[in-house]
Amino acid sequence: DADVTQTPRNRITKTGKRIMLECSQTKGHDRMYWYRQDPGLGLRLIYYSFDVKDINKGEISDGYSVSRQAQAKFSLSLESAIPNQTALYFCATSETQRENFHNEQFFGPGTRLTVL
């Protein structure tokens, strides 16, 4: 079974609709992240959470919101979807950093979102 799962895997929606993307992990990691990937732009950080009570904006948080329902769950919402939010969305997790050691992030399989 996958350690980091995302639902749905694919979604087509219309402009103005509210959309929620869900991420669950069984790795026991405290830290979770949401990224979007656009062709030619790499991955850009939307939001991240270091624990259930800690939510932080990334570089492109406008138009998005998140909810950390539990250590294992981190949801991304588009309150009113627009076409330029069409992208591939990834959830990732990592262990809490130890001093002078940055852990790698483990990624989910991605959600392909199309906003018409």
Output 55 or 88, the one with its CB closest to other proteins.
88
Cis bond leading into 39, ω under 30°?
no
CB 61, min distance to other proteins, A: 13
Please tell me whether residue 106 binds other proteins under the rule CB under 8 A.
yes
Q: Is beta strand 87-94 parallel, antiparallel or unpaired with respect to 31-38? A: antiparallel
Q: Which stretch binds other proteins (CB under 8 A): 19-27, 41-49, 60-68, 71-79?
A: 41-49
Please tell me whether residue 55 binds other proteins under the rule CB under 8 A.
no
Cα–Cα–Cα angle for 10, 13, 17, nearest 5°? 130
> Which residues, 6+ apart, have CB-to-CB distance to 58 below 8 Å?
33, 34, 35, 44, 45, 46, 47, 48
Options 8, 18, 109, 116; binder of other proteins; rule CB under 8 A: 109
Residues at the site binding other proteins, with contacts judged by CB under 8 A: 31, 40-45, 48, 50, 58, 88, 90, 92, 94, 97, 100-110
